Chains A and B, each alone.
Chain A
């Protein structure tokens, strides 16, 4: 995995402009397949015969619950598995990070034929296993505890067309290696602790959402606010300045039966990056919505 928070591409619920109604629980599983061959070593695009294609697969449990119509709680638990097609390096697998978010629809304005809403999301994530942060590009993640502040604006017209824009600032804790010193790309540090730069992301989408159908095109940009570049022929390092721009499409469809059952699929491609793999990401999932309050 040579991208930081790939959860973004399937953490649709954190970035979109939709809310689960009160006492409604939506849950399901998402399968993701991400693969890259070329990557950016700093800003130099290259491939590497010692890793070939790097494939990351994950299976993520997701759950969203409506505490009220305006406050939702969103949880995710991914199991991640990595593999390189060439070379001798061992792949990794294991539970990655628990993500727990609160989404608050703090403003809503209805016009005659349209509606505008804004959302604030506070998301917390923390490792669920003691996977190593020191095995990029085949590690499972950064092994940091993260806190994201996200603001989202959503505008939709009566016919079902919408635009959605979201941005977040993610604070990341430092991470700890199993070794007593390291070179972070800029300097030699005599410590097992790595200072982790924070991350900023932007997520913009436009599409159609009416009845059982939701379809959108989206743009995702993630920038690490600091960190060193991968040096020439060096291995990537956990605190590298990993930046990327991805574009993609997502479709979600509520099946006529059984009631409450939906399928979701998406595809993304990395169009630009720095210290990141040029990945193609495919995702497919099944979601089921349960209403606990029959009166609603």
Chain B
């Protein structure tokens, strides 16, 4: 009898657990959800805000392009009483009468704000393309080729400097394109379709923003063109997303076909100006060549220093050794050289030995708490990189501020120009001093994350974080303590991981703050505050 009970209990337990398991939901909870954007202010005067790089683009420049192209980029809008426009309204009504679930989801997705959505998409692209080339059988490494982006290795290898530059080009071009949109929207003052026809619903929050040219279409055009330059192998998903954004503007009653056509053309025209800047900013030469790599090592030896050596097998050429010469946004080449930190301890010095010993201690005593910090900030291969992490941090604050699209674009532009400049300054410093990683100085140092394939001084994470925290503290001053403590933690994570000396992280953090200061100085006088 007793045995029988045990069998019944066993059987019931099997069945009960099966019930629990089959009812379990594995869908993960996503962070950074966006709700329909209702801007606190329309920022009507945004077209007057100062340009970030007047050599690349000003309102006068883009007006000149729009007016003097043959044919013109777009013409003034038809009157809202015209038959042509009425036909456009009829198209919207027709589309709204048969919206599918999928189309409604697309409207909801883009109602979260185009600038925030594209920033999320961009972070995903960086993570996807952030893979180093695999070595060939002869031990050499192939270089990603922009002209053959689908090959192995894919183009690009979206490593931190590449990513910093990409985030900055997309954000700055978006910002300048939206300012151009604002210029024309308030010049023509054509209301949104839902204001012109009571038969058209507004499926996104209503605003008084004029709609010619459609700011959503401007954003789709400028972003898609920049992304096609930076991530050519993702052309399919980029163009699909951009078309989705324009459809959402149309289906939601926010913009008509002519609003969208004009916006798309304007967005592409602004992108062309930044593509020209990007092609001439020095990135093409940032990888260097064999002779240059050797000269870096020879230069360090001539100074009596131990030169940096790749710790990978087979040895990989250093990551973008000439990135320090790439054009910055808020700093001149002279300011970059003048801001280069004083040298780290000599590799043969007792002070250096002390630094190595400290790293060794952290490597040997990697607690679970410190490992969690290391992994929180690792942002290595296959991730959105440290600049992406700071975009991730910024996105929630920008969302919660209920910024207009143009002000949200300004916030990301400021953040990302500072992050790009931090990458330039940090790389300039790294390859000027070319000093070794801790595991090169002491082979027994085992690390809690991968050792990046470039010199140690100064820490990229620290420089990025110092710059980003400085800009975000300026934009959201009541959260300064949080941004600074995150920057400190990001910086320390590299010492905990066993991949940076204390000098790298402390000097890097200071360097980043000083770089961020150049962007803040611009922000204080650009007319937006």
Chain A interface (Cβ < 8 Å from any Cβ of B): 49-50, 67-68, 70-71, 86-91, 102, 104, 106, 120, 122, 124, 130-132, 134-135, 147, 149, 171, 173-174, 177-183, 187-196, 231-235, 237
Contact at A234–B127, with CB atoms within 8 Å? Answer: no
- Cβ–Cβ < 8 Å partners of A86 in chain B: 313
Give the segment of B6-14, B73-81, B202-210, B412-420 that binds chain A: B6-14
Most buried by A among B124, B372, B382: B382
A232 to B124, CA, bound (A): 17
Contact size range, B: 35 or more
Chain B residues in 8 Å Cβ range of A68: 3, 6-7
Closest A residue to B366 by beta carbon equals A90
Which residues of the partner chain A approach B18 to less than 8 Å between Cβ atoms?
149
Cβ–Cβ contact A88 & B445, under 8 A: yes
B17 pairs with A147, CB closer than 8 A: yes
Asked whether any CB of chain A lies closer than 8 Å to the CB of B371, the reply is yes
Given A86-B313, A122-B13, A190-B30, CB of A233 within 8 Å of CB of B378: no
Q: Give the distance in Å from the alpha carbon of A121 to the alpha carbon of B123 in the complex.
A: 45
B284 to chain A: closest CB distance in Å? 23
Is A88 in contact with B451, judged by CB distance below 8 angstroms? yes
Q: Which of B92-100, B129-137, B162-170 touches A?
A: B129-137
Contact call A188/B123, Cβ cutoff below 8 A: yes
The answer to whether A189 and B28 touch across the interface, beta carbons within 8 angstroms, is yes
B26 lies within 8 A of A196 (CB): yes
Do B368 and A130 touch across chains, with their CB atoms under 8 A apart? Answer: yes
| CB-defined contacts of B377 to chain A, threshold 8 Å | 179
Contact with A along B118-156 (1 / 0, CB 8 A): 001001100110011111000000000000000011100
Chain A neighbourhood of B29, CB < 8 A: 191, 193
Closest to B439 in A: A88
Bound complex: CA A2 to CA B14 (Å): 30
Q: How far is the CB of B452 from chain A (nearest CB, A)?
A: 11
Interchain residue pairs with CB less than 8 A apart (28): A49-B314, A50-B312, A68-B6, A88-B311, A88-B439, A89-B447, A89-B450, A102-B13, A122-B14, A122-B17, A124-B17, A130-B368, A131-B368, A135-B375, A149-B14, A177-B375, A178-B372, A179-B377, A180-B376, A181-B383, A182-B127, A183-B383, A190-B31, A195-B26, A231-B382, A232-B134, A234-B382, A235-B382
Which residues from A are CB-within-8-Å of B7? 68, 70-71, 104, 106
- Please list the 10 inter-chain residue pairs (A to B) with the smallest Cβ-Cβ separation, ordered nearest first: A49-B313, A188-B124, A90-B446, A233-B134, A178-B375, A193-B28, A183-B127, A178-B372, A88-B439, A171-B21
Which residue on chain A has the smallest CB distance to residue B32? A190
New contact pairs (11) apart from A104-B10, A233-B133, A235-B382, CB-CB < 8 Å: A90-B366, A104-B7, A122-B14, A130-B368, A149-B14, A179-B383, A181-B384, A183-B383, A195-B28, A233-B153, A235-B381
- Decide if B382 touches A183 in the complex (CB within 8 Å): yes
A174–B29 CA distance with the chains assembled, in angstroms: 11
A173 to B134 CA separation, bound complex (whole angstroms): 33
Where chain A touches its partner, the secondary structure class is loop
Q: Taking the nearest CB of chain B, how far is it from the CB of A131, in angstroms?
A: 8
A99: shortest Cβ distance to chain B, in Å?
Answer: 15
The answer to whether residues A181 and B152 also contact, given A87-B313, A147-B17 and a CB cut-off of 8 A, is no
The residues of B that contact A181 with a CB separation of less than 8 Å are: 31, 123, 127, 383-384, 392
- What chain A residues lie within 8 Å of B153 (beta carbons)? 232-233
> Are A234 and B313 touching (Cβ within 8 A)?
no
Q: Which of A88, A106, A188 contacts B127 (CB 8 A)?
A: A188
Contact B120 A89 (CB under 8 A): no
Please tell me if B27 contacts chain A, counting CB pairs below 8 Å.
yes
Interface residues of B in 346-379 (CB under 8 A from A): 363, 366, 368, 371-373, 375-379
In the complex, A131→B367 CA distance in Å? 11
Which chain A residue shows the least CB distance to B16?
A122
> Which B residues touch A193, using CB under 8 A?
28-29
B447 in complex: contacting residue of A90, A134, A174, A178, CB < 8 Å: A90
Q: Complex: how many Å from CA A86 to CA B389? A: 30
Enumerate chain A residues within 8 angstroms of B28, measured Cβ to Cβ: 174, 189, 191, 193-195
Measured CB to CB, the closest approach of chain B to A149, in angstroms, equals: 7
Q: Are B131's CB and A233's CB within 8 A?
A: yes
Confirm or deny: B448 has a beta carbon within 8 angstroms of a beta carbon on chain A.
Answer: yes
Find out whether the CB atom of A88 lies under 8 angstroms from the CB atom of B131. no
Q: How far is the CA of A291 from the CA of B311 in the complex (A)?
A: 57
In the bound complex, residues from chain B placing their C-beta under 8 Å from that of A235 are: 381-382, 450
Measured CB to CB, the closest approach of chain A to B499, in angstroms, equals 8
- A82 to B215: give the CA distance in the assembly, Å: 55
Shortest distance between the CB of B287 and any CB in chain A (Å):
17
B498 at the interface (CB under 8 A from A): yes
- Kindly state whether residue B24 has any CB partner on chain A within 8 Å: yes
Bound Cα distance A105, B395 (Å): 57
| CA distance in complex: A130, B27 (Å) | 23
Query: Are A179 and B376 in contact, CB atoms less than 8 angstroms apart?
Result: yes
Report Cα–Cα, A174/B30, bound state, in Å: 13
Q: How far is the CB of B116 from chain A (nearest CB, A)?
A: 12
B312 A49 Cβ-Cβ under 8 A: yes
Which residues of chain B come closer than 8 Å to A234, judged between CB atoms? 131, 381-382
- Please report the C-alpha to C-alpha distance between residue A177 and residue B234 in the assembled complex, in whole angstroms: 27
* Complex Cα spacing A177 to B124, Å: 18
Check B375 against A187 for contact (C-beta < 8 Å): no
Q: In this complex, what residue of A is CB-closest to B120? A: A190
A106 to B7 Cα, complex, angstroms? 8
Q: Are A195's CB and B27's CB within 8 A? A: yes
Please, how many angstroms separate the alpha-carbon atoms of A89 and B28 in the complex? Answer: 30
Closest Cβ–Cβ distance, residue B77 to chain A (whole Å): 38
Cα separation A89 to B153 with both chains bound (whole Å): 24
The closest CB in chain B to the CB of A120 belongs to B14
Task: State the CA gap A179–B449 with chains docked (Å).
Answer: 13
Is A89 touching B376 in the complex (CB atoms < 8 A)?
no
Shortest beta-carbon distance from B16 to chain A in Å? 10
Q: Are B363 and A90 in contact (CB under 8 A)?
A: yes
Cα distance A150–B435 in the bound complex, in angstroms? 56
Residues of A within 8 A of B313 (CB): 49-50, 86-87
Question: Shortest CB–CB separation between residue A190 and chain B, in angstroms?
Answer: 5
CB-based contact A182/B383 at 8 Å: yes
B27 contacts which chain A residues (CB < 8 A)?
195
Chain A residues near B373 (CB-CB < 8 A)? 178
